[in-house]
Amino acid sequence: MSASPLVVENLSFRYRDRAGTAVHDISFAARAGEILLIAGASGCGKTTLVRAINGLIPRSYKGEMSGRVLIHGEDTTAMKLSAISQKIGTVLQDPERQILGTKVLNEVAFGLENIGLARAEIFRRVDEALAHLKIEDLRDRDTFLLSGGEKQKVALAGVLAMRPSILLLDEPLASLDPASAAETLDAVRLLADEGMTVLMVEHRVEDVLRIQPERVLYMTEGVIRYLGEVAGLSKVVNYREVKLPAEDIIRRAQKDSAPAEIQILPGAPAPRSGDEALVRFEDVTFGYESDVEVLHGINLDIKRGDVIAVLGPNGSGKTTFVKHAIGLLKPKSGRVLVDGKDTREATVAEIAKTLGYVFQSPSHMLFAPTVREELAFGPSNLKHSKNEIETEVKEALRIVNLSEYEQDPPLSLSFGQQKRVSIAAILAMRSKILAMDEPTAGQDYRNYMNFMDSILQLPGFEAALFITHDVDLAVIYANRVLLVADGRLIADGAPHEVLRDFSRLEACRVIPSSLLALNVKRFSETGRFLRAEALAHV
């Protein structure tokens, strides 16, 4: 066992400010040249395990720890964190927490400079890491102008440049478009084939299965429930918690009762032909730099009853487009109207009464000392009554399954939980339109299905819009899909119209999922797109 690059022996850990152990009696060994997929519901202990392996526990995260972690036979408690980081590279869920440099080149070179490598060697390794991930074009870009997915790839490049023997990836696909996710996974497979040990925490299990991980470690409630070959996973996993390929879900779901139909946006009557748009884009162009356009001539209306999925590559302008709807950005030319009012003439606070926006990175939103205060902040600013605020906070916490964390500091929670807090903060404001940027990032299958179902059944919303790289989210929930690429609106229509053109999707770096393929195949008998659990009973 000691010959393995990584050995975890009888590891248990309880955070200082939490009741109960986060992980309990974890033991396994990871081999050189293997990809070990770590799966499980949000809060099951996956990120805690990563923190214990890379030395952040017990150094940065305090609590009671027992057991030990061995790296190439050496106990990590006897090693300096700087020594551990040269052998173990970690890519976090939220790239905002990892990127320090103002330029991509500086960011990727940061670790190499800290260990005192020669300048020529630093440049060689930086260029090699960027080439490995096919992002050489980002080398001289400002990091603050990158999209979330681009930042994720830059963070990975910075780790690869250090040439660790063990790579820990905590939700590395969360912010990546499907094609970028596939390219990243291919790069990871190549690294493992070259001898690196890779541990990958990931909710997008179907995507990871494509590169044939050698083993899967499945956790629930801080304990290992399964450790073995991929073939055995579907027999032990709860298909409602971990997102399996659609065929596997259908096979399992056929043995259960049919799911109940949900009513999406019950408070939004179908728009009549003469209805005024809630939000209107009129020939909108925009650029962060005066001579570079990011959006080119965007024209569209958002009307009552719309549930819109926005798909497209990293860096294509999706977030920039949505930020115009909430007035955070103003058009270079053209105009955006919210409830008939030009956003140039309205404050962000005024627009928030109509449109609530959930940022891609929760660290851009969260600041209050407790979850409850975080959720009460928006309604208080909108002058809701004390009783209304109490009801709104309680209901929002229930919807995102965080009622027990009401008094916890938001920034002490996991990335997935922080994401749900940021969504709950907007839900509590009761805006007419809900706009979410990557709402399912860091969420297990059960959590994201439950809160999407609950959000879209709330009587207060008249329209919803979500930016997503999860094609299945568009398949299951959207009644309208926008395809954006290079700052242009490539397609706008019903899901069965936009998503059946696989060649156009792939040109926009959107890879059809198994659920989409099944829905397209069976559309003639169903007449609409359905979730896998419903397809099982058609």
Give the DSSP letter string of 239-272: TTTS---HHHHHHHHTTSPPPPP--S-TT-PPPP
Reduced 3-state DSSP string for 398-446: HHCCCHHHCCCCHHHCCHHHHHHHHHHHHHCCCCCEEEEECCCCCCCHH
Q: Is the Cβ–Cβ distance between 319 and 332 less than 8 Å?
A: no
Instruction: Determine the 3-state secondary structure of 18 from DSSP.
Output: coil
Residue 1: predicted pLDDT = 41
> Can you list the residues of the chain whose pLDDT is less than 50?
1-2
From residue 110, how far is each of 59, 369, 406 by CA, in Å? Answer: 22, 32, 38
From residue 231, how far is each of 209, 214, 216, 251 by CA, in Å? Answer: 10, 10, 9, 15
Q: Is the Cβ–Cβ distance between 50 and 44 less than 8 Å?
A: no
Residue 2: predicted pLDDT = 44
Domain ranges in the chain with CATH number 3.40.50.300: 6-237
How big is the CA angle at 433 (ends 269 and 298), to the nearest 5 degrees? 100
Superfamily for the 6-237 domain: P-loop containing nucleotide triphosphate hydrolases (3.40.50.300)
* Helices 386-399 and 445-456: angle between axes, nearest 10 degrees: 140
Token pair of 222 as six digits: 């801080």
Torsion angle, CA of 357/464/400/359, rounded to 10 degrees?
-20
Q: Is the Cβ–Cβ distance between 420 and 365 less than 8 Å?
A: no
Burial 262-275 (b: 16+ CB within 10 A, else e): eebbeebeebeeee
For the chain, percent of residues with pLDDT exceeding 90: 67
pTM of the predicted structure, to 2 decimals = 0.85
Residue 272: predicted pLDDT = 59
Query: CA 484, CA 268: separation in Å to the nearest integer?
Result: 26
Q: Is the Cβ–Cβ distance between 402 and 35 less than 8 Å?
A: no
From residue 113, how far is each of 121, 155, 325, 454 by CA, in Å? Answer: 10, 16, 42, 48
Residue 168: predicted pLDDT = 95
Residue 348: predicted pLDDT = 85
Q: Pairing state of beta strands 74-75 and 63-71? A: antiparallel
Residue 175: predicted pLDDT = 77
Give the phi and the psi of residue 284 in degrees, each rounded to 5: -80, 125
Residue 433: predicted pLDDT = 92
Q: Residue 58: is the preceding peptide bond cis (ω within 30°)?
A: yes
Token pair of 194 as six digits: 């070259």
**If you search the block for the tokens 């964390």, which residue do you land on?**
405
Report which of 533, 434, 435, 437 is spatially closest to residue 476, judged by C-alpha positions. Answer: 533
Residue 443: predicted pLDDT = 81
